[in-house]
Amino acid sequence: MAGEKGRRSAVKLTARGAIALALVATLAGYVLTAVFGVDQIVGAAFLLASVLGVVLVNRRELLSLVVTPPLVFFCATLFVELGRAFGSVSIVQSLALGLYTSMTQGAPWLFAGSALVLGIAWRRGLRDNVRELREELKAGAEVSRPRQPFVPEPEGYFEPKVYGTPRGED
């Protein structure tokens, strides 16, 4: 039993997998909301999928996962509201009003999901990922590249370059 305490979950996701999980769960939440009529299902599904995704994602991919919850929620909402807008007389007006309403209702869930993802990712090692990114960017900026002066070709000058050897007469 002592050996099982230090054991970690064998299931690991890539950042893309965690993002896909959150997107599918949010869309499923919209479907369940339409079926049962309870608006909180969308937010709860988004929150649960976001937390599950950040817990299961590989540690080296935390940085790319942390920034995506707002985008995932917006994309799911846009997809659902676009589907709803196609049945109306004015698609643009219906889409704008539907997006405004859905994003307003989902804002507390969106903020809670983003904060939880950030907090859990920070605990799992997001700080190390940020430090590594800074070091990579700093190392890339320090590399000096030799500058070659720009030498324009004379005006009207064009000479096609021929590669290889000329063909013989066949």
For residue 35, what pLDDT is reported? Answer: 96
Which single residue is written with the structure tokens 């320090």? 142
Gap between the Cα atoms of 26 and 43, Å rounded: 8
Whether residue 147 has pLDDT greater than 80: no
**Local confidence band at 1 (pLDDT 50, 70, 90 cut-offs):** very low
For residue 56, what pLDDT is reported? Answer: 94
156: left (phi over 0), alpha (psi -120 to 50) or beta: left
pLDDT, averaged across the chain: 86
What are the tens digits of pLDDT across the range 73-101?
999 999 999 999 998 999 999 999 999 99
Torsion of CA 8, 9, 14, 15, to 10 degrees: -80
For residue 4, what pLDDT is reported? Answer: 46
Provide the angle, in degrees to the nearest 10, between the axes of the packed helices 40-56 and 15-36.
160
Number of neighbours of residue 153 by Cβ within 10 angstroms: 8
What are the tens digits of pLDDT across the range 120-136?
999 999 999 999 989 98
Number of neighbours of residue 164 by Cβ within 10 angstroms: 5
- Is the Cβ–Cβ distance between 45 and 28 less than 8 Å? yes
Q: Which residues are bridge partners to 13 per DSSP?
A: 57
Q: Which residues are bridge partners to 57 per DSSP?
A: 13
What are the tens digits of pLDDT across the range 100-120?
999 999 999 999 999 999 999
Q: Which of 26, 68, 50, 53 is nearest to 113 (CA)?
A: 50
For residue 139, what pLDDT is reported? Answer: 83
